[in-house]
Amino acid sequence: MPAELVANVVIAGVLTGLVYGLMALGLSVIFGVVRVVNFAHGEMMTIAMYATTMLFAAHKVDPFVAVLPVAALFFVFGYALQKGFINPFITRPEHSQFMLLVAVAIIMVNALLMIFGPDARNVQVDYQLESFEIGKILIDKARLYAAGAAVLTAAALFVFFKKTLTGKAIRACADNYLGAKVVGLNVKHLYALTFGLGSICVAVAGCAMVLLVDVTPGLGPYYTLLAFVIVIVGGLGSMGGALLGGVLIGVSEALAGLFIVPSAKSMFSFGLLILVLLLRPQGLLGKKQT
Amino acid sequence: MTRAAVLLVVLVALLALLPWFVGAYALSVATLILYFAYTGQAWNVMMGFAGQLSLGHSLYVGVGAYVAGGIFFHWGIGPWAGLWLAIALCVLLGLVIGFLAFRFGISGVYFALLTIAFAEFTRIGFDHLGWTGGPGGMFLKVAQRDTWDIASFRGPPLMYYYSMLALAAGAFAVCHLLLRSKAGYYWQAIRENEDAAQALGINTFRWKMLAVAISAGMTAIAGVFFAFYYNNLFPEQIFNISRSIEIILGPIIGGLGTLFGPILGAAVLTLLSDGITELLIHFGWEIPGIKQVFYGVVLLAVVMFLPHGIWPALARRLRV
């Protein structure tokens, strides 16, 4: 097998993996702060993808422009979802939270099926067929831009959590729920804010992903599982871990597709997940559980 | 006799007489309810009794179905031999997963995700195995439907109904005994507070392993039933995570850790699903997906307003 081909596939895997990573980052941030596993994560991702295809079909809006209104809408939606539905469930047992989000996911997938039908949709922009050439290496333009958007969003979120007062307050809630309440932080508001920020990650990842794959309602559960795999591999609650996990899964999927059969690609992801859970349950970059 | 025992006897008697009063369609719905009551009961041993959340029970249904179905399909070995092989294999599988998880101290959400990972791993693996027929599926020879052929588990729908009734009643009895045995009390201690249970000298590892083994073995039987009732098996369907969710919805909606919960939950959810279908046909709203949207909304309402499930609320009313 020629080396350029392998290199091309690995690069494509890394770039797709960064978009996966951003999606998983949303899940990780929400879990890290709210301690709720968002079982409707992939379904939210497909909603963002459909929103982008709709804006494109109606007004030829480029996905990288559509990302602004979609992300804003997702922030509001995420905030409301946390405030209205999930906040009352924070003190309930895990299986109860799980049921709540499964119900939300069922509604989302099937509402998409009702509205858009089962057929695949996509967007077609000029730069999807173009690529940068560096020697014998080809890099798809769309994939590179998508990965760029993912990295930018992740970086912005990172700066927000490190530098701003609100970001620090959210981290305080994550570190010590009771302590945060004692010093007078509005924990419920901050939780809702966090869910909104996690939703923005999903929205941006969705807008970028539309350039790379066709969207169907059935993609939702697949992305939910993918996001779980990535955050567990990278470390649930770790921001860098989510991106690293995304890249690892992206590359392993791409290589499995090249060397074995494409349909077996997620077997490697789940194999990796099982190994990580057994050997390093906190994930590659996760902190040890206490 | 207590009120609960009276209720149970009346319920079993009514279900045994049911085929004389209803048609073929209602009988198939009743079989499905009993199937979910049974699998729910099996899952409840692990989660409701011992507090270990499994989101991958489709693994045991699938492996049970493929083992018994496969040796019948390839070598003509009947389901009674296949049943034991399926149980043995699923117990072993459960023990391996349990051993890996509990030895490495994996619990809660992480344990749940591990069970999903094993089910998904197996699903994709079976999709690429020649022996299972891959994604194209495995088709058992369709049964003659006239006589009860119990040796090869072939017969009319009535036979499947009664075997499922026997299984569901058996599972209820087993769970009733388990819950009042030493193991049952240890499990409940582990469920409520594992550290405290350990401090009292309970070998939590061993008792959690027992819960997984019993739950996996019971679920395997449902898999064998599935194979010989439906006659066709596809990895994509049988191992799908939504199958695992179907199994656990009943006990959670009905009442986690209770004996009547899985039965009540299975009945409510199956009838709800069928009722919504009928209603939508009646109003002429037959858009794909609309049924599941309603189903999701009802689920959401139950989870929000009846956090402990329907049975505990109902039991207070009935004073059982």
A-chain residues near B296 (CB < 8 A): 103-107, 110
Cα angle vertex B127, ends B122, B131, to 5°? 95
User: Quick check: A106 and B303 CB within 8 A?
Assistant: no
ipTM of the complex: 0.83
For the ranges A170-174, A265-269, B200-204, B241-245, the lowest mean pLDDT is seen at A265-269
Alpha-carbon distance of B151 to B145, in angstroms, equals 14
Q: Which of A2-6, A188-192, B25-29 has the lowest mean pLDDT?
A: A2-6
What pLDDT, on the 0 to 100 scale, is given for residue A147? 92
> What is the number of structural domains in chain A?
1
User: Which of A161-175, A194-208, A261-275 has the weakest average pLDDT?
Assistant: A261-275
- pTM of the complete model: 0.86
Residue A132, in any domain of the structure? yes
Residue A151: its pLDDT value, please?
A: 93
CB-defined contacts A:B, below 8 A: 121
pLDDT in tens, A80-104: 999 988 888 888 888 888 889 989 9
Q: Do B307 and A85 touch (CB under 8 A)?
A: no
* Contact indicator for B50, B211 with CB cutoff of 8 Å: yes
- Tell me whether residue A165 is in a domain: yes
Residue A289 lies inside a defined structural domain of this protein: no
CA A132 to chain B, closest CA, distance in angstroms equals 35
B224 with B64: CB under 8 angstroms?
yes
Cβ pair B46, B187 in contact under 8 A: no
Which residue do the tokens 């997702």 mark? Answer: A74
Interface with chain B: mutation pick from A37, A87, A90, A106, highest number of B CBs within 10 Å: A106
Which residues in chain A have Cβ-Cβ distances shorter than 8 Å to B245? 102
Question: Confidence class of residue A288 from pLDDT cuts 50, 70 and 90?
Answer: low
The alpha-helical segments, DSSP class H, found in A176-264 are 177-182, 187-209, 219-234, 239-259
b/e for A112-127, b at 16 or more Cβ within 10 A? bbbebeeeebbbebee
CB contact under 8 Å between B109 and A229, yes or no, is: no
Residues written for chain A: 290
What whole-number distance in Å separates Cα of residue B29 and Cα of residue B13?
18
Paired sense of beta strands B232-233 and B138-139, if any: antiparallel
Among the partner-chain residues A103, A261, A277, the one whose CB lies closest to the CB of B303 is A103
Which tokens in the block code for residue A143? Answer: 């994939």
Place of tokens 């030493």: B182
B104 near A CB under 8 A: yes
What confidence tier does A290 reach under pLDDT thresholds 50, 70, 90?
very low
Cα B51 off chain centre by: 16
Predicted pLDDT at B125: 85
Q: Does B245 touch chain A (CB under 8 A)?
A: yes
Q: From the CB of residue A145, how many other CB atoms can be counted at a distance below 10 Å?
A: 18
The packing angle between helices A165-175 and A187-209, to 10°, is 110
In this structure, the dihedral spanned by the alpha carbons of residues A187, A190, A195 and A200, taken in order and rounded to 10 degrees, is 180
pLDDT above 70: residue A217: yes
Q: Would you call A109 and B53 a contact, using CB atoms and an 8 Å cutoff?
A: no
Which domain CATH number covers A272?
1.10.3470
Using N-to-C axis directions, what is the helix angle for A219-234 and A3-34, rounded to 10°? Answer: 80
- Structural domain contains residue A287: no
**What range does the domain containing A88 cover?**
3-279
As a whole number, mean pLDDT of residues B165-185 equals 92
Domains and CATH numbers, chain B: 3-318 (1.10.3470)
Cβ of B289 within 8 Å of Cβ of A113? The answer is yes
Cα(A224)–Cα(A262) distance, rounded to whole angstroms? Answer: 19
What is the reported pLDDT for A289?
Answer: 53
Cβ separation B292–A106 shorter than 8 A? yes
Contact A110 B249 (CB under 8 A): no
Percent of chain A with pLDDT over 70: 99
Measured in degrees and rounded to the nearest 5, phi and psi for residue B27 equal -65, -40
Identify all chain A residues contacting B288, using CB atoms and an 8 Å cutoff: 113-114, 117-118
* Number of alpha carbons in the 13 Å side-chain half-sphere of residue B104: 19
Question: What's the burial of B136, exposed, middle or buried (CB within 10 Å: 0-12/13-18/19+)?
Answer: exposed
